[in-house]
Amino acid sequence: MFAISGATQASWLSRLPAILDRTHGDLVRLGLAFFLLGVGTLAAMVLTAPASDRYGGRPVLTVGLAVTLPALAAVAFCRSPAALAFALFAMGIGGGVWEAGMNVQAYAFESGLQKHVMSGFHGWWSIGSMTGAGLGLAATRIGVPLAPYLIGVALTAAALGVLALSYLDDGKVSRPDAVTSRRRLPIRRLTAIGALLFCGALVEGAAGDWLAVYLNEVRRLSHSGAALGYTLFVTAMAAGRLTAERPHRHVGAVGVVRSGAILAGVSVGLVVLTKAGWWAFAGAFGWGIGICWAFPAALSAAGNVATASAVAMMTAVGYSASIFGPLAIGGLARSFGLGYTLLALVPMVAVVALLAPALARTGPEPEE
């Protein structure tokens, strides 16, 4: 389910120029459509949280697929910016339900195994994303029209999704120490986890949005050099998450996330402050390795101290960083320059390191 989600998202984003041509849109209207996509996703994640406790991850995932994939196919038939905005808003709602549901299901699976596998699932999302982008590139190269391409992606994702769902249970977690009332929620602990997750997601998203731009426009690397830096980052993210179980087992979530945050802070400095291009490439790789564990570790910790709804809510917290982060970085870069703005990420990774003890695997806080 994680891989299908990543592939589905990347498959249509890779055909964005063709979608713009078909809808006769411009960057302003596209920006509005993306804003509605984000609003739909965030709202759906928040509303999905209580449903996750009541129904579990599998029914929520089923609804997510049922909304997302028809909306994806509908994008192929949009002929105006308004129609595209409506389709992306619907896709955002479905995608938010899908993402919250799969994280709840992943936590239920992790809870049964009693070992950290959340990072591995997110690694498979990265693999799916790279696969979807490759499919979009191949379709563009051989001239596959937009409509059959998106419909084919939606049908393939539906078939694989139904197959995957047939292997899943309801995704509910039954624990004697589970938090069952708002009064007993460990608010302080969840606030610390949420702050860590938000800062980690912001640092992660900043590389996705701005790393290639910085390497090209500020460091004056070629387009291929900038693309290489970004590729090193996403490859490090995927590799780090796919191999996270052993470090978590031997070092624990606190040690893994804290050491990773320190590495990410040093790596951001290498990208911005060094002159040689190979140092920037090393920094891009270290940035990905260092920050890749924060998001999934925070989701696991939220489930450990509360209920499935906390996992869904933390997913929404992380996603909100991807909405507001680019706006904040873009505004600061306009005033202070992109390099100085990226250095402002170092305090963010410091927050991740300082709040890492909130990820320790303990039971819920005692009732106050």
Say whether both 18 and 67 belong to one domain.
Answer: yes
Same-domain status, 8 and 93 = yes
Contact 332, 341 (CB under 8 A): yes
Report if residue 277 sits inside a domain: yes
Phi, psi of 364 (to 5 degrees): -65, 155
**In contact, 257 and 352? CB cutoff 8 Å:** yes
Residue 364 lies in a domain: no
Domain boundary residue among 109, 133, 165? 165
For residue 365, tell me if it sits in a domain.
Answer: no
CA–CA separation, 311 and 328 (whole Å): 26
Which is nearest to 77 in space by CA: 147, 15, 148?
147
Residue 91: inside a domain, yes or no?
A: yes
223 burial (CB, 10 Å; 0-12 / 13-18 / 19+) is exposed
pLDDT digits (tens, 9 = 90+) for 152-191: 999 999 999 999 999 887 656 554 444 444 445 688 899 9
Are 154 and 191 in a shared domain?
A: no
The 10s digit of each residue's pLDDT in 271-316 is 999 887 889 999 999 999 999 999 999 999 998 887 777 888 898 8
Residues 200 and 140 in one domain: no
User: Looking at 135, 165, 195, which one is the last position of a domain?
Assistant: 165
Three-state DSSP string of 169-214: CCCCCCCCCCCCCHHHCCHHHHHHHHHHHHHHHHHHHHHHHHHHHH
Structure tokens belonging to residue 233 = 């980052």
Say if residue 363's pLDDT is above 80. Answer: no
The mean pLDDT of 348-359, rounded to a whole number, is 96
Q: Domain count for the chain, please give it.
A: 2
> Is residue 136 located within the same domain as residue 191?
no
Judgement on whether residues 130 and 276 belong to the same structural domain of the protein: no
Do residues 32 and 71 both lie within one domain? yes
Let me know if residue 348 belongs to a domain: yes
Q: Is the pLDDT of residue 364 over 50?
A: no
Same domain, 287 and 156: no
Q: What is the CATH number of the domain that holds 135?
A: 1.20.1250.20
- Look at residue 357 in the predicted model and tell me its pLDDT: 95
pLDDT in tens, 110-125: 888 888 899 999 999 9
Q: Residue 126's CB: how many other CB atoms inside 10 A?
A: 24
Same domain, 130 and 241: no
Residues 97 and 234 in one domain: no
Q: Which residue has the tokens 């706006």?
A: 327
Clarify whether residues 126 and 258 are in a common domain.
Answer: no
- With a CB cutoff of 8 Å and minimum separation 6, the contacts of 100 are 44, 45, 48, 49, 52, 60, 64, 311, 312, 315, 316
For residue 366, is it within any domain?
no
Place of tokens 């509360």: 306
pLDDT above 90 coverage of the chain, percent: 43
Q: Does residue 135 fall inside a structural domain? A: yes
Domain of residue 257, residue span: 185-359
Q: What is the mean pLDDT of the chain?
A: 86
d(CA 49, CA 313): 6
Say whether both 69 and 109 belong to one domain. Answer: yes
What pLDDT, on a 0 to 100 scale, did the predictor assign at position 265? Answer: 96
Q: Is the pLDDT of residue 104 over 70?
A: yes
Provide the total of helices (H) and of strands (E) in the chain, helices listed first.
16, 0
Q: What's the whole-number mean pLDDT along residues 220-235?
A: 84
Q: Does residue 177 lie in a domain region?
A: no
Q: CA geometry: angle at 62 spanning 60 and 63, to 5°? A: 65
